[in-house]
Amino acid sequence: MKKKKEILKIYKDKLKNFKKHSDLYYNKDNPQITDEQFDKIKNELLDLEKIYPFLKTKKSVSSVVGAPITNKFKKVNHLRPMLSLSNAFNYNDMVEFQKKINNFLNLKEKFIELFSEPKIDGISATLIYKKGILTKGLSRGDGIIGEDILENLKTITNIPKKIQANDIPDLLEIRCEVFIGKKDF
């Protein structure tokens, strides 16, 4: 019983630290640690949840996507949950990712070509077009509810406000990462 209490204390301390830095990053736009340090804290929590399943709850790190939504913008439900991709930091992470894909698709060790690129840190967004007209733009928020950032997104010249094509569906959702390049900043 003592060991369980010790593990819970370690977990709660790490979780408190994670939430603090998550708030600084997502809500205050004032990160105080690097992305690498933030990911390290998150992965330590995920590892603890894997080893000790009793730590996992609806609010645990493995169950939460994005960040709590603020009161700065109007709240809008996503058409479908907007999930997050996992990080891969080394070769073994890539191998595990490939195994998950093969398992999910019920394939027998089929070769899947992977590529990697430097992480671009921006804001995950979804663009919703109705009959080719951009009508909604949402942040990821908590993955279920996003913030209405349409007016901000409209200021980005590379995002088309209207799509003109013969075969455009009545409802089109595009998920993307919005970022500012160094030269534009």
Domains, the chain, in order of start with CATH, read 2-64 (1.10.287.610), 65-84+119-185 (3.30.470.30)
- What is the radius of gyration, based on Cα positions, of the chain? 19
* pLDDT recorded at residue 80: 92
User: What contacts 39, CB < 8 A, 6 or more positions away?
Assistant: 87, 89
- Cα 145 to its chain centre, rounded Å, is 13
Percent over 70 (pLDDT), the chain: 92
Question: Which residues are part of the catalytic machinery?
Answer: 119
What mean pLDDT value characterizes the chain? 84
- Indicate if the pLDDT at residue 7 is higher than 60: yes
The whole-angstrom separation of Cα 43 and Cα 159 is 34
Average pLDDT in the 140-163 region? 90
Each residue's pLDDT tens digit, 48-91: 988 998 888 877 776 666 555 566 788 999 999 988 777 777 88
Sequence length of the chain is 185
